[in-house]
Amino acid sequence: MLKQSLFGGKMSRRLPIFVILLCGVSLIALNCGPRGLESKPYKTPRAFVFTPESPASSPVSIQYYLLDVGFRRCSIEAEFSSDDGASWNPCTPVSSADINDLPSASHPGINHAYQWDATADQFTAGGQDVIVRLSPSANGDAGTPGKTREFTAIGYWTGTGTGTGTETRT
């Protein structure tokens, strides 16, 4: 009587189908576990970079998170592109403290700010549209870089670089 109420009197046909479906779903679930959650998913450091508000005046502050599951001290190489990433030029840091011996952590990482001296890289008061790329490394292992979206960087360099002064003395 219990068999009839649970399976509608057709236990002999439905039970094997139910067991097969249950086993199939269990096997699929075991093989489809979340990816990237092994004990050390990122073998090298990663930079997650935020775009500063545009226009950004020198020194340009570029916020980023430095993530490394090994908690290693990292270095950052900063570069800018004014041609949408076709070529890259080094950024001049305000201080070497912004690029060397930086602490890192696993997710979500540690928040840092790279201070870029855009004036030293001869950006003028008129500004220029750029993308900045920050590439981390730790113990010689190059990491995964992060990039800003395009923004306008403004420096305070006003010279022409021609070397034609107009000074007169009396």
CATH number at residue 145: 2.60.40.2550
Residues 17 and 91 in one domain: no
Q: Which residues of the chain have pLDDT under 50?
A: 1-2, 5, 29-40, 161-170
Residues 127 and 55 in one domain: yes
Q: What is the pLDDT of residue 132?
A: 97
CA distance 112 to 49: 10
CA distance 134 to 81: 12
Residues 22 and 98 in one domain: no
Sign of the C-alpha dihedral, residues 79, 73, 59, 150?
A: positive
Residues 13 and 57 in one domain: no
What Cα–Cα distance (Å) separates residue 30 from each residue in 20, 34, 39, 68, 113? 15, 10, 18, 28, 42
Residues 60 and 136 in one domain: yes
Strands (DSSP E) contained in 39-119 are: 46-49, 56-57, 60-67, 75-81, 89-90, 110-116
Q: What is the pLDDT of residue 42?
A: 65
pTM greater than 0.85 (yes/no): no
Does 94 reside within a domain?
yes
Residues 93 and 26 in one domain: no
Residues 92 and 21 in one domain: no
Q: What is the pLDDT of residue 11?
A: 54
**DSSP H/E element including 133:** strand 128-138
Number of domains in the chain: 2
Residues 16 and 61 in one domain: no
Q: What is the pLDDT of residue 116?
A: 95
Host domain of residue 141:
46-154
Q: What is the pLDDT of residue 165?
A: 40
Q: What is the pLDDT of residue 17?
A: 75
Peptide bond preceding 103: is omega within 30 degrees of 0, i.e. cis? no
Q: What is the pLDDT of residue 111?
A: 94
